[in-house]
Structure 1
Amino acid sequence: MSVELYGIGNALVDQEYAIQDDFLSSTGLTKGTMQLAESDAQYALISALNNHTTSAGQVSGGSGANSIYAFSALGGQAFYACRVGNDDLGQFYLKDLAAANVHVSPISEGTGTTGTCLVLITPDGERTMHTHLGITTDLSIDQVDLKPLESAQYLYIEGYLATSQTAREAVRHARAQARAQKTKIAISLSDPAMVQYAREGLVDLIDDGVDILFCNELEAQMFTGESALEQALSALLTHSKLVVITRGAEGALIGYDDVIIPVPPQVAPQVLDTNGAGDAFSGAFLFGLSRGFTLSDCGFLATAISSTLVGQFGARLRREQYAEILDKTISKA
C-alpha cells in the first residue's frame, strides 16, 4: 500500500440535524463548538431531536476523516488510522471510508461501541457538535498501523486527539517515524473548545514543532492570547514552519518566515451548513501541496472547496464537484 497522506484521528459516525436556535438554547450547548458527552446524555439528546426534527443521514466523520476524504476525493492516495467498535456503526464506518478510496487497517476495529457525533445545524449554517467518543477514546499505538506511513509525504494529526493520553502517545510514535523518514507533519487545532479545555494536550501533540498548522481565526487568537490576527500568526510560527488560518467569509491567511499571503474569499451565495468546511479546507490544501501547487493556488483550491461546501447540507461534496473545482484551479494557475 502506497499512500501520500497518512491521517490519525477520531472515528465518529456523524449524524446531522437541522434545528432552530431556540432548540439549541434549550440544550445548553455552546454554539459553534464541540462538547464531549457520555452515552446516556447523547441518547437523551437524540430522543429530543427525534421529537423535534429528523436526521439528514450519517457519514464516516470526525475532523481528520473529513480532511482525508477531501484529499482522496481530489485524487490523492490516503490512509486513516482510527478506532471503531465491532458493531454495526463500526462496520458502516470502515465500509464508508473504503468506498471513498480511503485506506484503513483491520486493526482499527476492536471490542466496544463506535463513537458518534450529533451535528446540530442552525439556520445561520453554524454547526454545534455533541460527541460521544465511545471506543475511539482508547485509540492507542496498538490500533495504529504505521506501515503505510513509510510512503507518505504528510502525516496529518487531528487536534481533537488532545483529550486522550493514549492517542497522544500513538501520535508521538507516528511523529518519531515521520521525522526519521523526513515526512512532513501537519496538525489542525480542530475546535475552540480544544484550545480552551485541552490546550496542554494540543501542546503535547505539537511537541517540538510541526511543518504545517491549520486553525481558524478564533483558535489562533485563543491559542496565542493575541487579539490581532497578524500577531497571532507570528506567535503560531514559533510552533510551525507554515501556518494557515481560515477566516470564513474573509478567506484565509498563509504565513511562513516573514511572508504573509492573504487568500481572497470565495463566498457561497448562501451559507447553509459550515460542518466540515475547515476540515475540507485542510485536506484540499494538503492535496495542493502534494501536487506542487504554489501556496496561493493551494489557498484558492481550499477556499473554493470549503465555500462550495457551506452552500449545501453535509460535510462532503459530490465527487464530481471536487474534480470540477480542481480543474478550475489548474486552469487558473
Structure 2
Amino acid sequence: MKYDVFGIGNALVDMEFKVNEAFLDEHKIEKGLMTLVEEERQFQIVKALSDQDQHEVKRQCGGSAANTMIAISQFGGKSFYSFKIADDDMGHFYLDDIKENGIGTKNKTGQLADGVTGKCIVMVTEDAERTMNTYLGITAALDEDQIDEEALQNSAWVYVEGYLVASPTAQAAAVKTLALAKKHGVKRSVTMSDPNMVNFFKDNMKQLISFDLDLLFCNEQEALDFTGKFEINEAREELKKFAKHFVITLGDKGAVIWDGEQYINIASHKVETLDTNGAGDMFAGAFLYGINNGLSYEEAGNLASLASAKVVSQYGPRLESEQVSEVKKQLA
C-alpha cells in the first residue's frame, strides 16, 4: 500500500486565540462547541479579539481530518488528504503547510478555484476548553471531484470527517468515498467530529455510519446523542450495530475500545491541560498509525492516549518531532 490512510474533510486555516469566558458571554458564543458562522460574523469576532488586544497563539492548516492525517505522518505513517481550498492567500498558506507536513494531495498551485478559503477561530478559555466558530468558505463546496480514486485504492484505510455532513455536496463526497473504499476492499473509518453534527445532521450521520464500518471514532457525548441513550454502557452496546470496532474517548477518564470481541479500557495521563483543541484528532491519528503498523488495539490505544495528553498540555493540535520521539520512547 502506498498510503496508510486516505482522509477526506474540511480544509480550514485554524487561528487560535486565548480568551476568557466573559468574552464568550459578551459576544454570545456557545462555549465548547463548533458553530458554523457567516464570514461577516467571523470578521466581527476577529475584530473584537483585536480590539481587546488578543493575539493569535497559532495559525496552521487545519480541519479535523487534516490534523489526523498530520498526526499519522508525524508518527512515521503515510497519509493522503482530499480537501478544497481557494486561490487566495489563506489557500496558498494551507497548501504549503500541508505539503510541509508530508501529506499527499491532488491540489496544486495554479489549479485552485476562485473563492474564499475556510477559516476557523479557535478560542481557548482558562479551563482549556476549546470553542470554535467556523466559516467554511469554499470547503462547503467540497464534492466528488476532490476524491483521488487512485490514491484511495492504494490506501489501507479511509478516514471520513463527520463535519462533512453539514454540506450537501460534501456529504455526497463522503458517501462516495466510503462506497469506493468498499468497492476496492479498503477499510472504512468515520469520526463523528462534534455533538452538533450528531444532533443537527443525524440523518446524514446515520447515512455515513450505515456502511458497516470497520472503525468508528466518537467521544462520550456524541455516543450518547447518536444512540439516544443516557448511560455510556448502554450507548456502547448500541454502537455495535453500526461498526465492527469503535473507540469512545472519555476525556480525563481515558477511552474505551471495542475490538470486536472485548472492551479495552485505556487509561488517561495526568497532565496540566492548557488546550483541548485537536485532542480527538490526535487520538485518531495515533490510533490509526498504530493499528496500521503492527500494534494491537490496546497498544494503539495507549499510544493515542499518551499522544493526546501531550497535545492538551500545550497550545495547538500538533506535536513537535521531539515530542513524538518522547511518546514513542515512553511506550517502548
Same fold per superposition (TM over 0.5): yes
Percent identity between the two aligned chains: 39
Number of the residue aligned with 1:25: 25
Q: Structure 2: which amino acid aligns with 1:206?
A: I
1-structure distance, mates of 2:57, 2:211: 41
The match for 2:38 is 38
Q: SS at 2:264's partner residue?
A: strand
Match of 1:291 in 2: 293
Amino acid at match of 1:165: P
User: Which moved further from structure 2: 143-152 or 309-318?
Assistant: 143-152
User: How far apart in 1 are the matches of 2:112 and 2:72?
Assistant: 23
> TM-score, structure 1 length as denominator?
0.96
> Which residue identity is paired with 2:178?
R
Moved more, 39-48 or 197-206: 197-206
- Could you tell me which amino acid in structure 1 is paired with residue 313 of structure 2? G
Residue 114 of structure 1: aligned partner: 117
Deviation per CA, 1:251-308, whole angstroms, max 9, x where unpaired?
000014451111011121x110000011100000000010121111111000000011
- One-letter code aligned to 1:9: G
Kept after mapping to 2: 8 A contact 1:209/1:239: yes
Once residues 264 and 308 of structure 2 are traced to their aligned partners in structure 1, the CA distance between those partners, rounded to angstroms, is 18
User: Residues 74-129 of structure 1, C-alpha deviation per residue, up to 9 Å, x if partnerless?
Assistant: 00010000000000100110110100001111268322100000000000000000
Amino acid at match of 1:317: L
Q: Tell me, what secondary structure is at the counterpart of 2:256?
A: strand
Structure 1 portions without partners, runs of 5+:
none
Report the alpha carbon displacement of residue 136 of structure 1 after superposing the two structures with TM.
Answer: 0.2
How many residues are paired up? 329
Deviates more, 1:219-228 or 1:117-126: 219-228
Q: Distance in 2 between matches of 1:137 and 1:298?
A: 33
Alpha-carbon separation, structure 1, partners of 2:327 and 2:297: 16
Return the match for 1:323 from 321, 325, 329. 325
* Aligned partners of 1:168 and 1:204 also within 8 Å: no
Q: CA RMSD in A?
A: 1.3
Secondary structure of the 1:110 match is coil
Q: 1:55 corresponds to which residue?
A: 56
Is the Cα–Cα contact under 8 Å of residues 142 and 169 in structure 2 kept in the other structure? yes
The amino acid across from 2:56 in the alignment is S
Partner residue of 2:67? Answer: 66
Does the CA contact (< 8 Å) of 1:284 and 1:298 recur in 2? yes
Q: Match of 2:170?
A: 167
Alignment of 1:193-212 (within 5 A): 193-212=196-215
Cα deviation, residue 145, structure 1: 1.7
- The question of whether the paired residues in 2 share the 8 Å contact of 1:171 and 1:205 is answered with yes
SS of 2:245 mapped into structure 1: strand
CA distance in 2, matches of 1:48, 1:5: 39
Where does 1:99-110 land on structure 2 (aligned, <5 Å)?
Answer: 99-106=100-107, 109-110=112-113
Deviation at 1:44, TM superposition (A): 0.6
**Residue in 2 that maps onto 1:306:** 308
Q: Which amino acid aligns with 1:243?
A: F
Q: Is the 8 A contact 1:162 1:168 kept in 2?
A: yes
Question: Contact 2:12–2:63 at 8 Å: present in 1 too?
Answer: yes
Give the Cα–Cα distance (whole angstroms) in 2 for the partners of residues 253 and 35 of structure 1.
27
Q: What's 1:273 paired with? A: 275
> Mind listing any 5+ residue stretches in structure 2 that lack a counterpart?
none
**SS state at 2:14 partner:** strand
Q: Tell me if structure 1 keeps the 8 A contact 2:6–2:151.
A: yes
The TM-score with structure 2 as length reference comes to 0.96
8 Å CA contact retained: 2:4, 2:289: no
In the alignment, which of 134, 141, 150 is matched to residue 144 of structure 2?
Answer: 141
- Which deviations, in whole Å up to 9, do the C-alpha atoms of 1:139-196 show, x marking residues without a partner? 0011222221111111000000011111121122221221122111111000111111
1:33–1:129 CA contact under 8 A, matched in 2: yes
Change (3 A) 1:275 1:146: same
Look up the equivalent residue of 2:16 and give its one-letter code: E
How far does residue 317 in structure 1 lie from its aligned partner after superposition? Answer: 1.1
**In the TM superposition, what whole-angstrom CA distance separates every residue of 1:31-88 from its partner, at most 9, and x where no partner exists?**
1100001101110111001112111121000000011110110000100000000001
> Greater CA deviation, 58-67 or 312-321?
312-321
In structure 1, how many angstroms separate the alpha carbons of the residues matched to 2:263 and 2:101? Answer: 35
Q: Is the Cα–Cα contact under 8 Å of residues 15 and 122 in structure 2 kept in the other structure?
A: yes
Instruction: Tell which deviates more after alignment, 146-155 or 101-110.
Output: 101-110
Say which of 212, 217, 220 aligns to 1:217. 220
Separation of aligned partners in 1, 2:186 and 2:146: 21
